[in-house]
Amino acid sequence: MYKEQLPAGVSRTIQSRLVLPPDTNHMGTIFGGTVLAYIDEIAAIAAMKHSRHAVVTASIDNVNFLSSAKVGDILILEGVVISTGRTSMEVYVKAECQHIESGTRSLTTTAILSMVAVDTEGRPTPVASVVPETENEKRLFENAQERKERRMKANEYAKELC
């Protein structure tokens, strides 16, 4: 069966956000939950661009908070689809902090999310496969099956706890 293929660049999405006082904790650094909301949003946009459908978040994996952003910094988020299943897509998101005065950037957060494309009735719908383009995308693509197996085991464990 033929399955359409799309280059990863079709989904690539970049957003910039200014870190404002309401976004921060008592230490003046951005709340992790705020960063997660931004990550979820950009992952959804990237997945919608790839699938041309609405999407829902199935999981958020491998969130790594590496450094923080402070009031006045610019948070730059980039999301791209790195692998696909029949109806699901893995989206890699990285967030960088750009310091206004120096212009320097530092990596703040990385995450991999699983998004599922849904039709107008909310049922999962097939998506095109993705063709990685950059070296990082190719490396992430090669490890997709391993991540999927980890997610499936985690889901089984979570069900056993109920």
pTM across the whole model: 0.93
Given this model, what pLDDT does residue 157 score? Answer: 80
User: Where do the DSSP E strands lie in the chain?
Assistant: 5-7, 13-18, 54-65, 74-84, 88-98, 105-118, 129-131
Confidence of residue 1 (pLDDT cuts 50, 70, 90): very low
pLDDT tens for 86-114 read 999 999 999 999 999 999 999 999 999 99
pLDDT tens for 105-138 read 999 999 999 999 999 999 999 999 999 999 999 9
Phi, psi torsion values for 87, nearest 5 degrees: -125, -5
Kindly list the structural domains of the chain, giving each domain's residue range(s) and its CATH number in brackets, ordered by start.
5-161 (3.10.129.10)
Average pLDDT on 38-61 reads 97
Confidence of residue 19 (pLDDT cuts 50, 70, 90): very high
In what helix (H) or strand (E) does residue 40 lie, and over which residues does it extend? helix 32-51
